[in-house]
Structure 1
Amino acid sequence: MQPKREELIKLAHYKMPFGKFKDQYLVDLPLPYLVWFKQKGFPPGKLGQYLETMLTIKDNGLESIIRKLQKEYPED
């Protein structure tokens, strides 16, 4: 199943709500941090889904897609 464009746009603008990387875009999180979450278990809900998706995006070198969405669809 391919993610919908609207969800990718939301993902592009979603910021980490807590911790060392609070208020940073998920695309800016270091890969080892995302891997750590995978090993420990992603949090429930939207954040966990977005972190898992971002790990897949980064693992496949596709961050440029998220950065392009950030530019093409700026936050309100």
Structure 2
Amino acid sequence: MRLESKLTCPACGFEAVETMPLDACQFFYLCKGCGKKLKPKAGDCCVFCSYGTVPCPPVQRDGKSACCS
């Protein structure tokens, strides 16, 4: 299981490598470049699944349909 993901802000393109929580989804993330509050895209459970290079641990472990259920 990979615990780090590089988030890319859709507003400014800023990239940051972040450590993901093991047992929860992260619903919000403040961009360290422009300060925009990122929220998951429709159908995604968290910001890592929407804007990251690696999906969150629950999705890695159980698949997208089991996340945050």
TM-score bucket of the superposed structures, by smaller chain:
under 0.3
TM-score (norm 1): 0.26
TM-score (norm 2): 0.27
